[in-house]
Amino acid sequence: MNFKKLIPGLLGPILFIVILQYFHPEGLSKQANAVLACTVWIAIWWIFEVTNIAVTALLPIILFPLTGALPIKPTTASYGHKYIFLYMGGFILALTIEKWNLHKRIAINIISVLGAGISKIILGFMVATAFMSMWISNTATTVMMLPIGLAIIAQLKDHPDTVEDEHAMFGKALMLAIAYSASIGGMATLFGTPPNLVLTGIVQELYGVEIGFAQWFTFGLPISCLLLSVCWVYLTRFAFKFKLDEFPGGATEIKRLKDNLGNWSTEEKRVLVIFALTAFFLIFRQWFQNFVPKLDDTIIAMTAGMLLFLTPSTNKGETLIRWKEAVKMPWGIMILFGGGMAIAAGFQESGLAQWIGSQFELLQGLPMLLLLFILITSVNFLTEITSNLATTAMLLPILAPIALSIGVHPYALMVAATVAASCAFMLPVATPPNAIVFGSGYLTIPDMFKTGIWMNVISIVLLTLIVYLVLGPLWGIDLSVFPEAFRK
pLDDT digits (tens, 9 = 90+) for 76-103: 999 998 888 988 888 898 889 889 988 8
pLDDT digits (tens, 9 = 90+) for 322-377: 999 999 888 888 898 888 889 988 988 898 888 887 777 667 778 999 999 999 99
Residues with Cβ < 8 Å from 449, sequence gap 6 or more? 426, 427
Q: Percent of the chain beyond pLDDT 90? A: 50
Q: What pLDDT, on the 0 to 100 scale, is given for residue 165? A: 65
**What number of H helices and E strands is found in the chain?**
25, 0
**Closest listed residue to residue 73, CA positions, set 87, 91, 60, 86:** 60
pLDDT digits (tens, 9 = 90+) for 140-171: 788 888 888 888 887 766 555 555 567 778 88
Q: What pLDDT, on the 0 to 100 scale, is given for residue 280? A: 92
Residues with Cβ < 8 Å from 19, sequence gap 6 or more? 33, 36, 37, 40
Dump the DSSP string for 150-208. HHHHHHHHH-TTPPTTHHHHHHHHHHHHHHHHHHHHHTTSTTTSHHHHHHHHHHHHHH-
Look up residue 476 and give its DSSP letter: T
Confidence of residue 5 (pLDDT cuts 50, 70, 90): confident
385 or 367: which carries more pLDDT confidence? 367
Sign of CA dihedral 70, 72, 78, 82: negative
**Count of residues in the chain:** 488
Q: What pLDDT, on the 0 to 100 scale, is given for residue 220? A: 96
Q: What pLDDT, on the 0 to 100 scale, is given for residue 248? A: 61
| Averaged pLDDT for residues 188-215 | 90
Is pLDDT of 107 > 60? yes
Alpha carbon 336 to chain centroid, angstroms: 13
Dump the DSSP string for 398-425. HHHHHHHHHT--HHHHHHHHHHHTT---
101: left (phi over 0), alpha (psi -120 to 50) or beta: left
Q: What pLDDT, on the 0 to 100 scale, is given for residue 53? A: 84
Is pLDDT of 269 > 80? yes
Are 339 and 42 a contacting pair, CB within 8 Å? Answer: yes
Q: What pLDDT, on the 0 to 100 scale, is given for residue 368? A: 92
Are 239 and 170 a contacting pair, CB within 8 Å? Answer: no
Is pLDDT of 110 > 80? yes
pLDDT digits (tens, 9 = 90+) for 397-435: 889 888 988 889 999 999 999 999 999 899 887 888 888
Q: What pLDDT, on the 0 to 100 scale, is given for residue 455? A: 96
Residues with Cβ < 8 Å from 94, sequence gap 6 or more? 135, 136, 137, 140
286-297 as b/e, with b when 16 or more CB fall inside 10 Å?
Answer: eeeeeeeeebbb
Q: What pLDDT, on the 0 to 100 scale, is given for residue 428? A: 86
pTM of the model: 0.84
Q: What pLDDT, on the 0 to 100 scale, is given for residue 98? A: 83
- What 137-141 contacts at long range (C-beta under 8 Å, 24+ apart), as own/partner pairs, is 137/91, 137/94, 137/186, 137/330, 138/182, 138/183, 138/185, 138/186, 138/192, 138/193, 138/431, 138/432, 138/433, 139/182, 139/432, 139/433, 139/436, 140/94, 140/98, 141/103, 141/182, 141/185, 141/433
pLDDT digits (tens, 9 = 90+) for 177-187: 999 999 999 99
For residue 467, CA distances in Å to 66, 103, 277, 416 come to: 40, 31, 30, 6
Is pLDDT of 250 > 80? no
Look up residue 265 and give its DSSP letter: P
Mean pLDDT over the full length of the chain: 88
C-alpha 48/C-alpha 255 separation (Å) is 46
C-alpha 206/C-alpha 397 separation (Å) is 8
Amino acid at 406: I
Give burial (CB, 10 Å; 0-12/13-18/19+) of 337: buried
